[in-house]
Structure 1
């Protein structure tokens, strides 16, 4: 390519291309005095010497007013964390693995501080600061670890599936220590105390009874519809929104009598808790039941005393703990809890009655 200075216009150059075309370029000095060369375009695309000269005049005029004439070219496309989250949740929905709880967790805990940030500017320090902010909001260590794990999964998805060139800033961030050595559960007397307290509140009564009978999580109980109830087998189909799929829970004959009357007038798709076609909001249960649990069981306990405070999830632990105390085999408890890994269930094994000595005494008789 040969470059020829225009005889007609100052600062304009004609560049002869190998294919016979001509491109026009200009030179000018930026506000620091540095000489800048800029390609305006090709003759085949309608560019002329006069157009190139006018472009140069426009650039010089912008520089006089303190404006960078090529500012638009210097702005690179920014990929934000929100962009990666959109990709992650859309792909999960396409794979039928969508989890509205995860999306809600992202919007509530991650998006406000990191969502609009350039993914390339997010650092390990940003992640640890997020941890600190969540701790200040009294979130449990296990919950905080889950939030950071979700953030890491969102970023890793684009790295692995979308060929994003990036080192995940979550790498190397230490998980917060969690203490699962003791899980608070209700004694049989405390169960009676709670059920007696909420017996006149139809919504809370059926929620608590189903939670204690099946061990299902909050959303699992709230999603039970009339069509999920099988009175002839004392069973209920439970949706596991955490791991996906469904599993079977059971209830006793005493509750069966109450349940039969309760669902008699309901339509197939009506929800058992609340008794209507609209699902009861989890925040409604949390707001009303928390006050009762605090009053009955949490007096004098610090709000950060996660080991000893009774919360809604304690109902699930009560179910598993009372099964273990009753001597139910650990594998049966695993199935009733719908645990993916028996290691999750083994925490309850210590509550099982010690029957080993009797087994050994009669082993060789």
Structure 2
């Protein structure tokens, strides 16, 4: 487990301050989740679906084990995140349903077990995600990466009025400045909010 986490920390991860600003709106997110849940390989499809609901980093979710889940408390614990702290994710009914849709494999404690590699988690499902994006009819699919799911969760929550400090806790950002950049992605909602007082006065 430590070796796998170390490998994840060394490679294959987009930096948090990357220049990509593309995110999926709520309708695109719905289509991705629907296509992902119908994907013929449930370990991979349900992983991609859950990634678009939880908002954690791809590697942090991919390496989770059954021992990280507490179904009684409805939580998923990430023992060590990018910023060096542990993080607790509170699971909704839909999240639990998705987790329980993944078949368990004998001798493999990962939540998303590799189909043909004993004791291993799934690999980064980039090819599968390309197929899912095509089925979901996502515009400019090359701009949508696995990490885009994290952008999308944050941006959609902020766009729908969720307090930014709550989104900060969800994303496990130490500094709220890391969360504020997602607010910039929801310009349409900000303009709508800014116009509310004028509409109320004029009405």
Q: Is the 8 Å Cα contact of residues 184 and 314 (structure 1) preserved in structure 2? A: yes
Match status 1:100 vs 2:7: yes
- 2: distance between equivalents of 1:240 and 1:286? 24
Q: Is the 8 Å Cα contact of residues 214 and 319 (structure 1) preserved in structure 2? A: yes
- Secondary structure of the residue that 2:28 maps to in structure 1? helix
Determine the structure 1 residue equivalent to 2:89: 249
Written as runs of structure 1 = structure 2, the 5 A alignment for 1:1-365 is 99-101=6-8, 103-104=10-11, 179=19, 183-198=21-36, 199=38, 200-260=40-100, 262=102, 270-274=109-113, 278-283=119-124, 285-293=125-133, 296-297=137-138, 299=140, 309-350=143-184, 351=186
- 1: distance between equivalents of 2:129 and 2:88? 25
Q: Is the 8 Å Cα contact of residues 238 and 247 (structure 1) preserved in structure 2? A: yes
Would the alpha carbon gap of residues 269 and 250 (structure 1) be closer, same or farther in structure 2, given more than 3 Å must change? Answer: farther
Q: Point out which structure has higher relative CO (alpha carbons under 8 A, 6+ apart).
A: 2
Q: Is the 8 Å Cα contact of residues 228 and 237 (structure 1) preserved in structure 2? A: yes
Q: Is the 8 Å Cα contact of residues 234 and 251 (structure 1) preserved in structure 2? A: yes
More divergent stretch after superposition (345-354 vs 200-209) = 345-354
- Secondary structure of the residue that 2:83 maps to in structure 1? coil
TM score, norm. by length of structure 1: 0.43
Please state how far the C-alpha of 1:272 moved relative to its aligned partner: 1.0
Q: Greater Rg, structure 1 or structure 2?
A: 1
Determine the structure 2 residue equivalent to 1:26: none
Would the alpha carbon gap of residues 245 and 278 (structure 1) be closer, same or farther in structure 2, given more than 3 Å must change? Answer: farther
Please state how far the C-alpha of 1:335 moved relative to its aligned partner: 0.9
| Count of matched residue positions in the alignment of Structure 1 and Structure 2 | 186
TM score, norm. by length of structure 2: 0.71
Once the two structures are superposed, what CA deviation does each residue of 1:171-192 show, in whole Å capped at 9, x if it has no partner? xxxxxxx646xx2111222122
- Secondary structure of the residue that 2:72 maps to in structure 1? helix
* Cα RMSD (Å): 3.7
- 1: distance between equivalents of 2:11 and 2:94? 37
Gaps of at least 5 residues in structure 2 are 198-203
Please state how far the C-alpha of 1:244 moved relative to its aligned partner: 2.3
- 1: distance between equivalents of 2:95 and 2:9? 33
- 2: distance between equivalents of 1:228 and 1:269? 14
